[in-house]
């Protein structure tokens, strides 16, 4: 089974420039970005069965990642709108 990579740039390619700008200019965005990437790597290791886990543990991390993704998307929309103004 192929597992899709969930990097934020893969998830939101239209925001690639905004992601880069925010990582450099916004410490809170950078912290959330790092946390999102960490969770993604942990989930990928679970999915590939490199790290043993229960379905509950994997789903818990996926929910955390989804919440982070929503928060990061909010940052990206705001940044994109600010640049368009």
pLDDT tens for each residue of 42-79: 999 999 999 999 999 999 999 999 999 999 999 999 98
Half-sphere exposure of residue 73, counting CA atoms within 13 Å on the CB side? 11
Is 1's pLDDT higher than 50? no
30/24 Cα distance (integer angstroms): 7
Q: What is the pLDDT of residue 84?
A: 81
pTM metric for this prediction? 0.88
For all residues of the chain together, what is the average pLDDT? 91
Q: What percent of the chain has pLDDT over 90?
A: 79
Q: Where are the beta strands (DSSP E) in the chain?
A: none
CB 84 within 8 A of CB 15: no
30: closest CA among 8, 10, 11?
Answer: 8
Q: What is the pLDDT of residue 2?
A: 41
The domain ranges of the chain are: 27-84
């Amino acid at each position: 089974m192929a597992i899709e990579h969930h990097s934020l740039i893969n998830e939101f390619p239209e925001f690639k420039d905004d992601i880069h700008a925010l990582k450099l200019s916004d410490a809170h965005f950078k912290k959330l970005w790092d946390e999102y990437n960490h969770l993604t790597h942990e989930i990928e290791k679970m999915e590939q069965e490199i790290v043993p886990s229960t379905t509950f543990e994997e789903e818990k991390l996926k929910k955390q990642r989804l919440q982070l993704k929503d928060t990061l998307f909010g940052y990206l929309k705001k940044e994109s709108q600010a640049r368009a103004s």
